[in-house]
Amino acid sequence: MSTQNIDYHVKLKNRFPVADRTMAFELEKPPGFTFKPGQWVDITLPGLASDAPGGNVRGFSFASAPEDDLLMVATRMRDSAFKRAFGELPLESEVRITMTGGSFTLHNNADRTAIFLAGGIGVTPMRSILRHAAQKKLPHRIIFFFSNSTPESAPFLEELTALQKENPNYTLVPTITRVDSGGASWTGETGRINKAMLEKYTKDAKSPIYYVVGPPAMVSGTQKMLEDAGCDSDDIRTEGFGGY
Ligand X SMILES: Cc1cc2nc3c(=O)[nH]c(=O)nc-3n(C[C@H](O)[C@H](O)[C@H](O)COP(=O)(O)OP(=O)(O)OC[C@H]3O[C@@H](n4cnc5c(N)ncnc54)[C@H](O)[C@@H]3O)c2cc1C
Residues that bind ligand X (CB under 6 A): 40, 53-54, 58-61, 73-76, 78, 80, 82-83, 102, 121, 124, 239, 241-244
Q: Is 201 helix (H, G, I), strand (E, B) or coil?
A: helix
Nearer to ligand X, 2 or 185 (CB): 2
Nearer to ligand X, 123 or 198 (CB): 123
Shortest Cβ 215–ligand X spacing (Å):
8
Spatial separation of the C-alpha atoms in residues 60 and 66, rounded to whole Å: 15
Residue nearest to ligand X (CB): 243
Q: Is 135 helix (H, G, I), strand (E, B) or coil?
A: helix
Nearer to ligand X, 8 or 86 (CB): 86
Residue type, position 202, single letter: T
Nearer to ligand X, 77 or 197 (CB): 77
Shortest Cβ 83–ligand X spacing (Å):
5
Spatial separation of the C-alpha atoms in residues 147 and 190, rounded to whole Å: 9
Spatial separation of the C-alpha atoms in residues 147 and 174, rounded to whole Å: 6
Please name the residue ranges forming H helices in the chain. Answer: 81-88, 123-135, 157-166, 195-201, 216-228
Q: Is 210 helix (H, G, I), strand (E, B) or coil?
A: strand
Shortest Cβ 66–ligand X spacing (Å):
16
Shortest Cβ 44–ligand X spacing (Å):
12
Nearer to ligand X, 65 or 198 (CB): 65
Nearer to ligand X, 80 or 177 (CB): 80
Shortest Cβ 73–ligand X spacing (Å):
6
Residue type, position 113, single letter: T
Shortest Cβ 151–ligand X spacing (Å):
19
Q: Are 215 and 189 in contact (CB under 8 A)?
A: no
Spatial separation of the C-alpha atoms in residues 170 and 133, rounded to whole Å: 9
